[in-house]
Structure 1
Amino acid sequence: MSFMLWRITLGLAFLAGPAAAEPWRASYAFAAAGITVMEAEVDLEIGGPGAPYTIETRTRARGLGTLFFRGEQVAHSEGSWRGANPLPRQHRSSGNWRGSPRRTLLNYTASGTPQVGLLEPAQDLERTPIPPEALPGTLDALSAMLKLSRQVRDTGRCEGQARIFDGRRLTQLNVTTDPVRDPAGGGQPSCVIESQIVGGLPVERPEDARPMRSVVHFGNPAQPGAPLLPIRIELASRWWGTIQVTLRQVTRG
């Protein structure tokens, strides 16, 4: 599975709804061939103009997935707003996959350049270089979705672009509106997400440069006052085919 891509799509949770001070939590189930392999929770507080925002995702292998993933991961992003643009302050993630701990810490300068504070393991694979001049203005995956999802909230469409740096890879993200709307979404838009690694590509896996395509279907949960949410995600995977991600529950945080 493309772990970058599931983190990106989970970042869409709550982000198309109106900015609200109160926190919300959503839980999702991941299924391959109808069998649950993973579950995730998303917590979010969106600030207003100039106010801070925080996003946290917690993902765990479940069922058959424990035979292949055997781990869990927590990702957390925080920053503030400048107009319609998120300004990340810090992104951190930690997890244990297949018995190997993985941790990342990115701190952002005032000019928007990410600085790697921690990367464990320091060298996982031999990768293609990322030019230093390509890093200013990049976002972490969760903050990037704050920016892109405003297209959904403000216009009912999904068009947007961003470049994402996760400490190892530089990924180009392009989002467009699917012309076919999911009937279960009550007329809400579906977003087509194309993700492609453009730097930090594993040298021994050149096939990872192929674009990955996922579709996020938005809808209105039954929970009163809840924001517009992804109710279903068709998540691309290099080894599992398409992973079906389904909204299970929405609660106030």
Structure 2
Amino acid sequence: MTFKALVAGMALALMAGLGCSPARAEGQVNAAYAVYLKGFHVLNAQASYQLQPWGYGGSTQIKPAGLISWFVTMDVTSRVQGKFTPDGNVQPVLFDSGGISRGKHRHVRLEFSNDIPKVTDLQPPETDREPIPDSSLPHTVDTLSGMAHLLHALATTGKCDGTQIIFDGIRLSEMVVHGPTMADIPQGQDEAYSGQALRCDFIGRQLAGFVKDSPNRAKLASPQPGAVWFRKIDGLGLVPVRIEFNHPKLGRVMVVMQHAVAP
């Protein structure tokens, strides 16, 4: 089983909390999540983030869990730094992600200047992918900054409507978010929280950076729906307690919060 695209989606989803904790604007939040695929607990994820009025920073670490850990060696850490502009937009500074995945050490680093990302390191090179035109890169953001931008609106305006073009170093994707609505938190995977929460619905789809002659191109380019539930937790503010999304090849993915604390 390959987890590369799943890791990208996980990182994007977990950093939702960057935009949603105004009550602790100067505090750091640490959260732990379990990831389920087809009912099986396959990954553990740790997210640590901090929000300031002028910007954000955070990191995620993802490792295999349960029986999957017997067969898959994986340890991927991603981190992000960025700023919020006066009009509420996001201005990434740095995105760095690396570790062991699919049997190799992998690393991608993006540095931003004048709203344009530059890939300063990509190991190993992804030579089997269709190139992304340089003209498509201005005003794109990395996966973590994209979610910070789109969901920061939930804290500042009470809404999570927005569209962002995401560049992760090898793929170009679109993320469209709508909401929120009040909805019950689904149960069934040892959730830490139940009851009603704010739900933001989203649709993601890959636009470019496809593997050449991939038989899965049509699936990867098709819209993939998902949702994230936010619950107000004493001392932390609004925190993402559950995320669900469709992966075009792996199916439905569920991300369930185990606990969250402020150090």
Q: 1:101 aligns with which of 105, 120, 138?
A: 105
- TM-score between the two structures when normalised by the length of structure 2: 0.86
1:231 corresponds, among 232, 236, 241, to 241
> Alignment partner of 2:197: what SS?
coil
1:110-132 deviation per Cα after TM superposition (whole angstroms, max 9, x unaligned): x11111110011125x2233121
- C-alpha distance in structure 2 between counterparts of 1:182 and 1:228, whole Å: 15
User: Which has the larger strand fraction?
Assistant: 2
Question: Which of 216, 233, 253 lines up with 1:243 in the alignment?
Answer: 253
Q: Is the 8 A contact 1:39 1:62 kept in 2?
A: yes
Secondary structure of residue in 2 paired with 1:228: strand
Number of the residue aligned with 1:252? 262
Equivalent of residue 81 in structure 2, options 78, 91, 94: 78
Measure, in 2, the Cα distance between the counterparts of 1:57 and 1:63.
Answer: 19
CA positional deviation for 1:23: 0.8
| Partner AA of 1:142 in structure 2 | L
Measured against aligned partners, the alpha-carbon deviations of 1:116-164 in whole angstroms (never above 9, x if no partner) come to 110011125x223312111111111111111111222233332111011
* Alpha-carbon RMSD: 2.0
User: Counterpart amino acid of 1:133?
Assistant: S
Q: 1:186, CA displacement in angstroms?
A: 5.3
Task: List runs of 5+ in structure 1 lacking aligned partners.
Answer: none
Paired letter, 1:4: A
* Secondary structure of 1:236 counterpart: strand
The aligned runs of 1:10-159 (5 Å cut-off) are 10-18=14-22, 20-49=25-54, 52-66=55-69, 69-83=72-86, 84-109=88-113, 111-123=114-126, 126-159=128-161
CA distance in 2, matches of 1:24, 1:180: 24
What pairs up with 1:172-183 in 2 under 5 angstroms? 172-177=174-179, 179=181, 181-182=183-184
| Alignment check: 8 A CA contact 2:53 2:84 kept | yes
Alignment CA distance shift 1:241-1:219 (3 Å): same
> What CA deviation, in whole Å up to 9, does each residue of 1:35-61 have, x standing for no partner?
311011111111113xx4211011111
3-state secondary structure, aligned to 1:188: strand
- Kept after mapping to 1: 8 A contact 2:182/2:197: no
SS at match of 1:63: coil
How high is the sequence identity, in percent, across the aligned residues? 27
User: Is the contact between residue 55 and residue 78 of structure 1 (CA under 8 Å) also seen in structure 2?
Assistant: yes
Q: 1:187 to 1:155 in 2, by over 3 A?
A: farther
Closer, same or farther: CA 135–14 of 1 in aligned 2, 3 Å:
closer
Letter in 1 for 2:36: A
> Take 1:157 and 1:186, find their aligned partners in 2: how far apart are those partners?
20
User: Given the alignment, which residue of 207, 211, 222 partners 1:198?
Assistant: 207
Q: How many residue pairs are counted as aligned between the two chains?
A: 247
